[in-house]
Amino acid sequence: MSIFDTIPIALRALAANKLRSSLTMLGIIIGVGAVITLMAAGQGAQKGITDRISGLGSNLLFIRPGEAKDASGNPTGGSVYTLMMTDGEAISDPDRFPYVESVASQVFFEAPLTASGNSMTTQITGVTPDYQYTRDHYVVSGRFINDEDITRKGLVAVLGANVADQLFGDVDPLGRTVRVTVGAFRIYFSFNFLVVGVMERKGATATGDEDDLMIIPLPTMQARIPYIRNPKGLSNVMQITIKITDPKKFAEAKEEIAALLRERHGVTEDDFTIRSQEDLISTATEVSQTLTVLLGSIAGISLIVGGIGIMNIMLVSVTERTREIGIRKALGAKRRDILFQFVVEALTVTMLGGFIGVSTGVLLAHFGDGARLFGRDLQMAVTAFSVLVAFGVSAIIGLFFGIYPAFNAARLNPIEALRHE
């Protein structure tokens, strides 16, 4: 008897116990569906993080102040203000760094804004004119911060799209003023900034929502807000973003820029950190992949439970059909025929359950994509790899947990089987 003759027999046996077969299959459906859905959530999170990092711009290096250390040299978790605006200007030297396309120094903090009777609290970012080119984020109306604003430390501002909408609604914000209140230690100051531009919509990136910013000249922020100065009275920056002409120059740029900053700061050990977009994406990808594997493994436990259920039902089926097995053997069926029959039954349950489970998981991921959970929008991404893994694991589980019952059935003595009641 060929395996093709065994398949119809196995299907008839499963059809004879529809409820039992369906309940057995349900464990596989739930397990495969859970694997697909949870892996889609993990891969969606990975894609979302990668898109946000890529949304910062292209071919970027990020320099941040170093981490504060105690007297023993151990990190304390705080940041030391070690970067200055002049560091960014030095990196802009085309003779020393020909591969640097643009440099943008930044300082940022949160403060309340008031305009046209509306108010909100958002991030204010002090920048230099090259910011929009470095970050590939441009004004959609009006103008951006220019060199004159930097020189005279002008009280001008460029609003993110969401800030403009929330403060001014349908009214054109250009030429209007926004009141900013800043302070510390119960001492507060208010400044009126003239709106000269509105940024194009960009959405969320790795550093936050780019549409929720108010952008002002960096020297204005440094002059008006003294608590961002270091103990020596020098004006600090919190980040220097550098756009490189060629991503192949990342390693060379990091090494040469680090040497320049050590020389300027008079230190032998870095009091700053330099990371590229590739570094950020690589780190985020590793974390997301670990999360995806963890989620898939947790869901895979339900597949194992489903496999145990299959083994249990197959053992019961062998016991119930002992006499049938004896008759088939007496009529000339070989051990492999009996073995194939029960293996095919187990595989049929798992493969059919796997197919339904994959379909269920894909549908759940589809309807879950974009759903709001705990104040955040879910992003789901089903890949061919996750489908193949889930379907393949279900087949392996069916084979693994079906072998033992099938082997028990195949080795039954035909005479004893015929005597079984």
* Residue 305: partners with Cβ closer than 8 Å, 6 or more residues away: 27, 31
pLDDT at 78: 45
What average pLDDT does this structure show over 325-343?
75
pLDDT at 76: 43
Judge whether residue 77 has pLDDT over 50. no
Confidence of residue 62 (pLDDT cuts 50, 70, 90): confident
Structure tokens at 345: 């039954």
pLDDT at 369: 75
Any idea how long the chain is? 421
pTM over 0.75: no
Q: What is the mean pLDDT of the chain?
A: 77
pLDDT, greater one: 173 or 75: 173
| CA–CA distance, 405 with 262 (Å, rounded to integer) | 70
What average pLDDT does this structure show over 386-400?
79
Q: What is the pLDDT of residues 342-387, one digit of tens each?
A: 777 778 788 888 888 888 888 888 887 766 665 566 777 777 877 8
Q: Which span out of 238-252, 285-299, 329-343 was modeled with the highest average pLDDT?
A: 238-252
pLDDT, greater one: 245 or 410: 245
Give me the residues paired with residue 69 across strands. 75
Strand ranges for 34-99 from DSSP E: 60-65, 67-69, 75-79
| CA–CA distance, 281 with 238 (Å, rounded to integer) | 21
Q: What is the pLDDT of residues 32-53, one digit of tens each?
A: 888 788 778 777 776 666 666 6
Q: What is the pLDDT of residues 17-32, one digit of tens each?
A: 777 777 778 888 888 8
* Residue 16: partners with Cβ closer than 8 Å, 6 or more residues away: none
pLDDT, greater one: 5 or 98: 98
Strand ranges for 185-291 from DSSP E: 187-199, 204-205, 208-209, 213-217, 239-244, 272-276
| CA–CA distance, 282 with 277 (Å, rounded to integer) | 8
What average pLDDT does this structure show over 101-115?
87
Share of the chain above pLDDT 90, in %: 7
* Angle of helix 3-16 versus helix 335-368 axis, rounded to 10: 60
What average pLDDT does this structure show over 111-131?
88
Q: Which residue has the tokens 């035909």?
A: 414
What average pLDDT does this structure show over 138-157?
90
Judge whether residue 175 has pLDDT over 50. yes
Q: What is the pLDDT of residues 178-236, one digit of tens each?
A: 998 876 556 677 889 999 999 988 766 545 577 888 999 988 887 776 555 555 555 67
| CA–CA distance, 267 with 420 (Å, rounded to integer) | 88
Residue 284 backbone phi and psi in degrees, to 5: -65, -40
